[in-house]
Structure 1
Amino acid sequence: MRLGVAGPVGTGKSSLIATLCRRLADRISLAVVTNDIYTDEDARFLRAAGVLDPERIRPVETGACPHTAIRDDVTANLLAAEDLEADFAPLDLVVIESGGDNLTATFSPALVDAQLFVLDVAGGGDVVRKGGPGIARADLLVVNKTDLGPYVGVDVERMVREGREARAGRPVVALSKHDEASVQELVDWVLGTLASYRAGGHVAVDPGPMAPHFHADEEHEHAHGDEPHTHAEQHAHAPAGTHPA
């Protein structure tokens, strides 16, 4: 099974993956693909943490906004995952970490079988109310770093409650790596999803593409009734070597 981990910059995705590896490496066969724009920083963090054989951690340098490599053109990540699967067969789980992105980023179901979206309390208690396909429809929402709530003025219970409301019953885990019960809840969810996948009961669900949007220089088009460009169309129309803001 391939498990995608997405979320904004600094929410603790790499730390979450390190926690999972520590807890699961003796129970299942694991590998990790990390994504950074220009470096292999997240891969080096995980290797230095000693959570897996370093060869089981492969970096992808996207060279562009993180969502391009997890949704728009997943080739680099697919090749990295397939290389790991060939080198360490049989693997039970490949975790693919997105580079930090905004609330619209989700994985293509062509790349992952399940995905979780990570927020953290230090990003503000209101962020969960801002919505987006990852928050609303990823297989799991993780509200991370709950131990920081008292220090950043966030009502963690309210943030988690509003996350559950936004997800219409889909699961939410309130996580702190210092809280054993919450770590076990995350581990149980991963193992349960893996068991369902093995039994043929898990269906990859696409949380949905990023919403169409347009830039200021396209307002003239809208004034004349033209449809906004989708994000993919913006990439196609952008000059080589540039990226829409």
Structure 2
Amino acid sequence: MNPTPTYRDVATVGIGGPVGSGKTSLLSELVPRLREEGLEVGVIANDILTQEDANRLRERFAGVVPEDLVAGVETGACPHTGIREDPSMNLQQIDAFLAEYPGLDLVLVESGGDNLAATFNPELADYWLYVISVAEGDDIPRKRGPGVVDCDLLVINKTDLAPYVGADLEVMTRDAREVRDGPFVLTNCKAIDGIEAVHEHIVEGVLFA
């Protein structure tokens, strides 16, 4: 019998969303804020066959997060496999973090890009965000995909692109409110709009829940 996994000793947050929605940019803004609060944070990037996302995050977090607290998990299959059907690879990586950093406060798990059906296994994520981009179309919220409807926090990102892609932010706001029971935030990572609200939701929903 396998020993009880130690991942239960640390809070975990999942960050999902389609390719290009801005998950990595959001992470890049959130992690320094969490570190400024004195929190020890680990980051896992899921991808199918490469370490490219993890390497990019190591570069962005150089001097902020220890290099060995940023890891890549290669799922070898559809991205949702490692966050929903069989999260064992992610859980093993969390255990590896804890073996070296037993005082770890939080692990952020970024999924590989996926469609609106992606969700996080509750064994892996205590709280999870789903990130969509306005460039995907302002009809995304009303399509009611599980990612949009079931996540703890919906992030409608890249609001600065709305005028260029014909997206109506008022429509997206109205539809998000109609299809969800939970909160949502509009963000623009380039201008840092809405980032503090996302940060507050994570802190309140996970660390002080």
Say whether the fold is shared (TM-score over 0.5): yes
Output aligned runs, 1:42-191, within 5 Å. Answer: 42-50=53-61, 51-168=64-181, 170-191=182-203
Q: Deviations over 1:52-96 (max 9, x none)?
A: 222110100011001111111111000001111221121111000
Q: Does 1:20 align with 2:30?
A: yes
- 1:101 Cα deviation (Å)? 0.7
Give secondary structure in 1 for the equivalent of 2:36: coil
Instruction: Tell me the residue number matched to 1:37.
Output: 48
Structure 2 CA distance for aligned equivalents of residues 164 and 140 of structure 1: 12
Structure 1 CA distance for aligned equivalents of residues 135 and 193 of structure 2: 21
Q: Which amino acid aligns with 1:104?
A: A
Structure 1 CA distance for aligned equivalents of residues 77 and 174 of structure 2: 35
Q: Which amino acid aligns with 1:185?
A: A
Give secondary structure in 1 for the equivalent of 2:196: helix
Structure 1 CA distance for aligned equivalents of residues 140 and 111 of structure 2: 19
Give secondary structure in 2 for the equivalent of 1:72: coil
Structure 2 CA distance for aligned equivalents of residues 46 and 138 of structure 1: 24
Structure 2 CA distance for aligned equivalents of residues 25 and 157 of structure 1: 34
Q: Which amino acid aligns with 2:208?
A: S
Instruction: Tell me the residue number matched to 1:232.
Output: none
Structure 2 CA distance for aligned equivalents of residues 195 and 26 of structure 1: 15
Structure 2 CA distance for aligned equivalents of residues 152 and 13 of structure 1: 20
Q: TM-score, normalised by structure 2?
A: 0.89
Q: Deviations over 1:190-244 (max 9, x none)?
A: 11112333xxxxxxxxxxxxxxxxxxxxxxxxxxxxxxxxxxxxxxxxxxxxxxx
- 1:125 Cα deviation (Å)? 0.7
Instruction: Tell me the residue number matched to 2:7.
Output: none
Q: Which amino acid aligns with 1:67?
A: H
- 1:161 Cα deviation (Å)? 2.1
Q: TM-score, normalised by structure 1?
A: 0.77
Q: Which runs of 5+ in 2 are unaligned?
A: 1-10
Q: Which amino acid aligns with 1:196?
A: F
Q: Deviations over 1:112-166 (max 9, x none)?
A: 1111111010111111111111211210000011111111111112212211211
Q: Deviations over 1:5-27 (max 9, x none)?
A: 11111101111111101222121
Contact 2:116 2:145 (8 Å CA) reproduced: yes
- 1:180 Cα deviation (Å)? 4.0
Higher RCO (CA-CA < 8 Å; seq separation 6+): 2
Instruction: Tell me the residue number matched to 2:206.
Output: 194
Q: Which residue of the other structure, out of 6, 10, 23, is the alignment partner of 2:20?
A: 10
- 1:181 Cα deviation (Å)? 4.8
Q: Which runs of 5+ in 1 are unaligned?
A: 198-245
Count of residues in Structure 1 that have an aligned counterpart in Structure 2: 196
